[in-house]
Amino acid sequence: MQPEKLARFKTLLLAALQQHTEHVRDDQAAALELSDDGVKDTVDLSLMDVNKEMALRLGERESQMIADIDQALLRIEEGSYGKCARCGKLIDERRLEALPTARYDAACQAIIEAANGEDEHSTL
Ligand SMILES: [Zn+2]
């Protein structure tokens, strides 16, 4: 990939990284706040636990995204960015624009998702 394009994706990834880092901080602050406040109010306690759990779970998802971004940045450093990790073909740049952390090209992604089954998509 051309250095200018790599630099552009790097900028995109760094911006996303910052955004997600802030989300995680917010989520953790929210979770802490929930556990600090309202302890005296036993009626709302169960609801509070649910909220806290949600906040923590959101944080987990954000952490996963941060890990993905980190790996994409690492691939930029290694020079393997933009190449499919499964078949080695170049990933379509429009796909990278939409999903800068993409590790596979569209064809391989479809194969992997099919192999993983449907539970990837069905949330609760
Ligand atoms: Zn592939």
Which CATH number is 95's domain given?
Answer: 1.20.120.910
pTM over 0.75: no
- Residue 91 CA, ligand 1 centroid: distance in Å: 8
- Residue 88 CA, ligand 1 centroid: distance in Å: 6
Instruction: Tally Cβ neighbours within 10 Å of residue 74.
Output: 11
The CA distance from 75 to 27, in Å, is: 28
- The 10s digit of each residue's pLDDT in 73-95 is 999 999 999 999 999 999 999 99
- Residue 95 CA, ligand 1 centroid: distance in Å: 12
- The 10s digit of each residue's pLDDT in 25-60 is 887 788 777 666 555 555 566 777 877 887 778 778
- Residue 84 CA, ligand 1 centroid: distance in Å: 5
Number of domains present in the structure of the chain: 1
- Residue 14 CA, ligand 1 centroid: distance in Å: 25
> Is pLDDT above 80 for 9?
yes
Q: 24 is in which domain, residue-wise?
A: 3-120
